[in-house]
Amino acid sequence: MIIDCHGHYTTSPPAHEAWRRRQVAAGRGMSNPIPRISDDEIRETIINGQLRVQGERGVDMTIFSPRAAGMAHHEADEARNAVWSDLCNTLIHRVCRLFPRNFVGVCQLPQAPGVSPANCIGELERCVTAYGFVGCNLNPDPSGGYWTDPPLTDRWWYPLYEKMVELDVPAMIHVSSSCNPNFHATGAHYLNGDTTAFMQLLASDLFRDFPTLKFIIPHGGGAVPYHWGRYRGLAQDMGRPPLTELLLGNVFFDTCVYHQPGTELLARVIPTTNILFASETLGAVRGIDPETGHAYDDTRRYIDGVPWLTPADRAAIFEGNARRVYGRLSAQLERQLSW
Amino acid sequence: MIIDCHGHYTTSPPAHEAWRRRQVAAGRGMSNPIPRISDDEIRETIINGQLRVQGERGVDMTIFSPRAAGMAHHEADEARNAVWSDLCNTLIHRVCRLFPRNFVGVCQLPQAPGVSPANCIGELERCVTAYGFVGCNLNPDPSGGYWTDPPLTDRWWYPLYEKMVELDVPAMIHVSSSCNPNFHATGAHYLNGDTTAFMQLLASDLFRDFPTLKFIIPHGGGAVPYHWGRYRGLAQDMGRPPLTELLLGNVFFDTCVYHQPGTELLARVIPTTNILFASETLGAVRGIDPETGHAYDDTRRYIDGVPWLTPADRAAIFEGNARRVYGRLSAQLERQLSW
């Protein structure tokens, strides 16, 4: 089985995103009726979008969450972000209900800049227990590019981590869009978020406090594997344990790296146990690479093309690691067979 | 000849940094006498520091600038940063005078958050014409981690670029320390700055306005080479020309990547013409890698260890590219022979 651990509903029906635009424009106090979206509309966007790509690339199942750039926690306050998260997560749940063999849900959280992440506990619990979601996306910078909230290793975040551990769900650390003109979202802010989070984890004792807490760092870990020597050296200079011991029991990298040399680097420096297959389709890059004749984001080809991976390595990257990191995934897949 | 294009005076005499700390603590209006530092003190820090490392690693010459984290443009206002830049650059000039075969200068700029970079023109001109410096370090985020100034591609920066072009000096795009608790300086802010700047350049027509402007992106280009497919794909989706055409006539990467696999990735995806040897010694990482028994930042070994590089490739990376990108370097090296 091939599991893509990183897909967003980037093709959601237009009425969904239009509602959010109206909500943001209206400011506080809007009580707009929620958008009516039919099952057929959802079916159409999925069949012509993510499901088609899954079929073309031989991917069996995607761990699926709301559009990352659409979270935009900086665009509204806590109350409105809560309504928006609810809508987004419910839409993901409907996708999973309609295509239970192909999608398992991961939720957006109702974060807001300066607001305690404890406010996310209710929505996380609802999505896991009522919808059968297996994880959440955690935005390390709800300000959208000004980084005004505390680092992920601050006690500020602990109430949420306690609930994640209790529910046995990991978080993908994933920023949203950027309102800072310095940061292109998918070309800078996303990768910077990944790099920043990793270094925060390296410098902290978070996993001593939460030995079973698990994070997936997307986009191949930002700059981290490319600078693995730098990170090993920094940890050493800081008197920290070796990285394998310090955080590789808790931190995992996806394979959203859109060329063969980058994927080979990832597979060369990061232990196979810490790599989860992902493509982020349909996502940041949608074109065909003229050098290969294939889609840039057809990351399965790059994994297949790493010559030294054994069948056991591939099984771990494509399936086994996802089942281990998303502790509820296997049971949820079973459950969805009866949907 | 082996030229290291990225070295900072991280070992400067204690009186130098102590003066800055007093200046920052005193606030506006301090007219402290400048610190007295003898030639012998400078000799000692260099002989036991950078010169020793050059000798051990067979590096002939370092393009040398003030400590990057020490610039700290966010710690004071324009006037005090101007005095500080003057002191830092004069100290570099004294190093070059004392060791004219081993060091050529690059200057710090008296930037300050929210202040037009036009304020840097005088100091740049002074350092180039009076001191024989061959480039400058340009901080894309004088706020120290809050990114409140315009992107590097904004006209805000154009007066400085006009002077750089006129003087034929490139800039290394290099952030300074971070006052944002989210960003560890050398483990996140530095790499994020590199990644951010590259994406700004990719999305702009800056080099149509300044066809001869040249930037070096340090630390191996941040996350960029690892995500080269992503950047090629983003440019393509945005209807931009191929990256080679769009910016590789103007943008260069150094080799401050502290392990063999990362250096091989860099050499595999970035054209040899765009790679400049550098180590940033004595810099961010100072330990011995237990996997190799050599210093993490002994980057010459990694370049020497890339099996497919030809002698011509190595000559370009170690010397030729630096002489081309730093247009005044060859003449300055000649000039310093008579110092």
Contacts of A196 in chain B (CB under 8 A): 182-183, 188, 192
DSSP, collapsed to helix, strand or coil, labels residue B141 as coil
| Model confidence band, residue A31 (pLDDT cutoffs 50, 70, 90) | low
Indicate yes or no: CB of A227 within 8 angstroms of CB of B181.
no
Per-residue model confidence as pLDDT tens digits over B105-156:
999 999 999 999 999 999 999 999 999 999 999 999 999 999 999 999 999 9
Q: Touching check for B292 and chain A: CB below 8 Å?
A: no
The pLDDT score that the predictor gives to residue B31 is 67
Nearest-Cα distance to chain A for B248, in Å, is 17
CA–CA distance, A94 with A39 (Å, rounded to integer)? 8
Q: Name chain A contacts of B229, Cβ cutoff 8 Å.
A: 257-260, 262, 285, 289, 296
Angle between helices B78-98 and B121-131 in degrees, nearest 10: 10
Q: Per the residue annotation, which of A280, A291, A319, A334 is the catalytic one?
A: A280
Q: How far is Cα A87 from Cα A95, in angstroms, rounded to an integer?
A: 13
Q: Over range A160-177, report the average pLDDT.
A: 98
pLDDT mean over A72-81: 96
Interface membership of B35 toward A (CB under 8 Å): no
Residue of B nearest to A183 (CA): B196
pLDDT exceeds cutoff 90 at B30: no
Closest CA to A297 of A285, A307, A314, A309: A285
Closest CA to A141 of A107, A185, A105: A185
* Per-residue tokens: A83: 């309504």
User: What is the Cα–Cα distance from B129 to B132, expressed in whole angstroms?
Assistant: 6
Tell me whether residues B262 and A289 touch, CB distance under 8 A: no
Instruction: Tell me if chain A has a CB within 8 Å of the CB of B289.
Output: yes
Mutation target to probe the B interface, by most B beta carbons within 10 A, among A179, A189, A192, A308 is: A192
Find the range with the poorest average confidence among A31-40, A47-56, A311-320: A31-40
Contact A226 B226 (CB under 8 A): yes
Residues on chain A touching B232 (C-beta within 8 angstroms): 259, 289, 296
* Greatest Cα pair distance in chain A: 58
Partner-chain contact A286 B237, CB within 8 Å:
yes
The pLDDT value given to residue B29:
66
Mutate to test the interface with A, among B173, B198, B259 (most CBs of A within 10 A): B259
Strand partners, B4: B62
Kindly list the residues from chain B whose CB atom is less than 8 angstroms away from the CB atom of residue A184: 199-200, 202-203
pLDDT at B227: 98
Cβ-defined contact of A258 to B183 (cutoff 8 Å): no
CB within 8 Å: B196 and A195? no
How large is the ipTM?
0.98
Q: What's the rounded mean pLDDT across residues B213-227?
A: 98
* Displacement of CA A2 from its chain's centroid (Å): 17
Q: Does B183 touch chain A (CB under 8 A)?
A: yes
Among chain B residues, the shortest Cα distance to A202 is held by B187
- Per-residue pLDDT tens for A280-332? 999 889 999 999 999 999 999 999 999 999 999 999 999 999 999 999 999 99
pLDDT > 80? residue A235: yes
Q: Residue A11: which H helix or E strand, with range?
A: none
**Mean per-residue pLDDT of chain A:** 97
Q: Are A182 and B196 inside 8 Å of each other by CB?
A: yes
Give the per-residue pLDDT at B27: 83
φ, ψ at B186 (rounded to 5°): -80, -15
Interface list for B 224-283 with A (CB within 8 A): 225-234, 236-237, 257-262, 264-265, 268-269
| Cβ–Cβ under 8 Å, residues A94 and A38 | no
Question: Is A265 close to B269, i.e. CB distance below 8 A?
Answer: no
Q: Specify the length of chain B in residues.
A: 339
- A196 to chain B, any CB pair closer than 8 A? The answer is yes
- Nearest Cα to Cα of residue A170 among A202, A133, A208, A116: A133
pLDDT at B28 over 80: no
Residues A238, B100: Cα–Cα separation, whole Å = 35
The reported pLDDT for the residue numbered A33 is 83
In angstroms and rounded to an integer, the radius of gyration of the C-alpha atoms of chain A is 19
Q: What pLDDT sits at residue A29?
A: 65
Size of interface A-B (CB pairs under 8 A): 200
- The string over B185-205, giving b where at least 16 C-beta atoms fall within 10 Å of a residue's C-beta and e elsewhere, is bbbbbbbbbbbbbbbbbbbbe
What distance in Å separates residue B44's CA from the closest CA in chain A?
24
pLDDT in tens, B230-248: 999 999 999 999 999 999 9
Establish whether A280 is a catalytic residue: yes
